[in-house]
Amino acid sequence: MSAPITPIILVGGSGKRLWPLSRESMPKQFVPLLGKQSTFQQTLLRVTDRTLFGRPIIATNDSYRFTAERQAREVGIEIDLLIEPSRRDSGPAIGAAAGYAKSLGAEAVLALASDHLVIGEEQFRADCRAGLAAVQQGGIVTFGIPPTEPKTDYGYIRAGVDKVGKVCKVAAFVEKPDAQTALRYLAEGLLWNSGNFLFSPALLLSEMARFEPVMAAAVEEAVANAIRRGSTVFLEAAAFGKAPAKSIDYAVMERTDKCWVVPATFRWSDLGTWGAMLDVGEADSAGNVTEGPVELDEVRNSYIRSDGPLTAVIGVENLVVVAMHDAVLVGHHDDLPRLKDVVQRMSEGNHKAATEHARIHRSWGSAQEIYRGVHFRAKHLTMNPGEQFALQSHRRRDKHWFVVNGAGEALLAGKTYVLKANDSVLVPRKTPHSLRNAGPATLEFIEVQTGDHLDEEDFVRYEEAREAGQGSR
């Protein structure tokens, strides 16, 4: 007997409000915000009870699919990937995922954000079971969080009087309030809108067709004409592109008369700002939350994090300090809402670190620039087992590979060189070359490039990658 609920996990967004830890190339759901696992991995682990949850469907774009695959593999969870050809907001994403789940025979779907914190897994499962009862009676269920403070950056839900067990009919969705209104909502018992939903895929698509017929037709066509390669499903681009870009809240939830809310018993945060990290972290006696190698002196009510350099902070309060290898953020709590605009300006100014991490993740592994001079560039690279670079050459630079860990095979001008730890090889310019991980473990090596042109476009490709994105550098 199949599990009653099919999880859909939404993986998208750029995470500008948590820069520099979260960036477009590696948004917050893929980085360890709290603990050693990413919030995406924590979300996957939350739905592993196979008596309640089936195999997860990950709705994402092509840029993130290899990272999602790798992180799922790291925690030992098999997934289906549903690839969106363009970003159309959560309405089309959830609609297409619901259509795909329906094609697999799913009767109930749980749509989860991949970048939220949930504390209390037993309570989470109990709330899902409570919501399932309302779904089975024709409801679309959302999860409302009993507020702990008058937040102005969350939407709210007003619960009605009709009930199915503990689940209440939604009387109204309420937009993000100002501070005075948020205090009133707190007193009136309104709930935070978590943005996670439980529903019958057939009902959701029916309601979408009722309110957004163009969107519904577009996502159903995109699913019907999708191409499947193994466990990865590529939605048809032309059809999906017809869908209006609109959130699921505006498209369906705030318009349907079939919405119900579970007053959640688990602890929740959307981890949307650095202030949220201060709220959920373990604070010291002065109210500070710290991560990494930091040293504080007379610091109060601050979030201080270093993912690299030793960071000393002295005589301040109410600050956020985040230090990484290639970027540093220092800001007052009250001014952090402006961070998104600052990141946008940096991006428009072509600052690479505004959107890209120093370590770039690819299908084959990762690469991080260590140092760059006028005529040389040094990188630290890792290659996953079974992967290899496409055959290529460079016109204006030489490369030196120094193996640190693992075993590799370098192909240079038709000759194969076996490389193990402490071995090195020179790759002369204009020489066709490739590199393969020849061992069971990750291949780790240093690459030093020398020449008068070190940008990435200086290459000649001799063969296409096995699959889009695979083997490229």
Pairing verdict, β 109-113 and 80-84: unpaired
Tell me, yes or no, whether 374 lies in a domain.
Answer: yes
Of 466 and 214, the one with more pLDDT: 214
pLDDT of 468 higher than 50:
no
Q: Do 147 and 213 fall into the same domain?
A: yes
**pLDDT tens per residue across span 355-412:** 888 888 888 999 998 988 989 999 999 999 999 999 999 999 999 999 999 999 999 9
Residues 240 and 300 in one domain: no
Would residue 404 count as lying in a domain?
yes
pLDDT of residue 425: 96
**Mean pLDDT of the residues in the chain:** 92
Domain boundary among 319, 348, 377: 348
- Run of H or E including 197: strand 191-199
Same domain, 323 and 389: no
The letter for the amino acid at 21 is: L
151 φ, ψ (degrees, to nearest 5): -70, 135
Of 126, 115, 184, 131, whose CA–CA distance to 156 is shortest? Answer: 184
Question: Nearest 10 degrees: CA dihedral of 230, 472, 71, 38?
Answer: -140
What would the pLDDT profile of 420-451 be if each residue is shown by its tens digit? 999 999 999 999 999 999 999 999 999 999 99
Give pLDDT, residue 473. Answer: 56
Question: Measuring CA to CA, which residue among 162, 156, 153, 163 is closest to residue 191?
Answer: 156
Domain termination site, one of 348, 380, 407: 348
Q: Do 324 and 403 fall within a single domain? A: no
Q: Please report, for the domain that includes residue 381, its CATH number.
A: 2.60.120.10
Cis check for the bond before 385: say yes or no (omega within 30 of 0).
no
Apex 322 CA angle, 179 and 319, nearest 5: 40
Domain contains 274:
no
Number of independent structural domains in the chain: 3
Instruction: State the average pLDDT over residues 18-40.
Output: 90
Say yes or no to pLDDT of 223 above 70.
yes
149 and 287 within one domain: no
Quick check: is 46 in a domain? Answer: yes
Residue 472 pLDDT > 70: no
Distances (CA, A) of 171 to 163, 174, 259: 12, 10, 9
Same-domain pairing of 89 and 181: yes
| Long-range CB pairs of 309-312, under 8 A, 24+ apart, other chains included | none
pLDDT digits (tens, 9 = 90+) for 167-190: 999 999 999 999 999 999 999 999
Question: Is 419 a member of any domain?
Answer: yes
Q: Which residues contact 357 (CB under 8 A, 6 or more apart)?
A: 23, 25, 26, 326
Span 142-156, average pLDDT:
93
Instruction: Identify whether residues 169 and 72 lie together within a single domain.
Output: yes
DSSP, collapsed to helix, strand or coil, labels residue 240 as helix
Q: Which of 321, 348, 375 is the last residue of a domain?
A: 348
Q: Which amino acid is at 280?
A: V
Q: Nearest Cα to 198, choosing from 124, 251, 268, 148?
A: 124
H or E stretch including 234?
strand 232-234
Q: Is residue 328 part of a domain?
A: yes
Quick one: 369 and 306 in the same domain? Answer: no
Residue 466 lies in a domain: no
Residue 318 belongs to domain spanning: 280-348
Which H or E run includes 167? strand 167-174
Q: Are residues 162 and 191 in the same domain?
A: yes
Are 246 and 168 contained in the same domain?
A: yes
> In the prediction, which pLDDT does 463 show?
63
Q: Are residues 67 and 198 in the same domain?
A: yes
Please state the pTM of the whole predicted model.
0.86
pLDDT for residue 458 is more than 60: yes
309 shares a domain with 187: no
Q: What CATH code is carried by the domain that includes residue 135? A: 3.90.550.10
Q: Would 355 be classed as within a structural domain?
A: no
How far is residue 69's CA from residue 80's CA, in Å, rounded to a whole number? 9
pLDDT for 465 equals 40
Q: How confident is the model at residue 471 (pLDDT cuts 50, 70, 90)?
A: very low
Instruction: Tell me the backbone φ, ψ of residue 193, rounded to 5 degrees.
Output: -90, 110
To 10 degrees, the CA torsion angle through 378, 33, 353, 329? -120
